[in-house]
Amino acid sequence: MSDVRELIPELDLISVERTSLIPAEKPKRVNPAPIRRKRNKAIRSIEITAAVSLAINVIQSIIIYILKPGIF
């Protein structure tokens, strides 16, 4: 074992002792309601943006159809 440590001196920097056998404290449980509200708001915003974009496209296609040469 000592010959390996002579070949790789960086191994001396690694601690071989065990740190702790006591289990770490469990993190406090996070309330999912604010996260869910934020996600729902983002989804609602995306849906509204998609609906407005679709409505603008419909209006634009109607205007182009009306203004197309040769119809009126």
Residue 12 has a CB neighbour count (10 Å cut-off) of 9
- Residue range 44-66: mean pLDDT, rounded: 94
d(CA 40, CA 29): 21
Is pLDDT at 35 greater than 60 in this prediction? yes
The pLDDT tens digits of the residues spanning 2-19 come to 577 777 777 777 777 766
* Alpha carbon distance, N-terminus to C-terminus of the chain: 95
Is pLDDT at 72 greater than 60 in this prediction? no
| Domains in the chain: boundaries | 32-72
CA Rg value for the chain: 33
Average of per-residue pLDDT values in the chain: 82
d(CA 12, CA 25): 30
Q: What is the pLDDT of residue 18?
A: 67
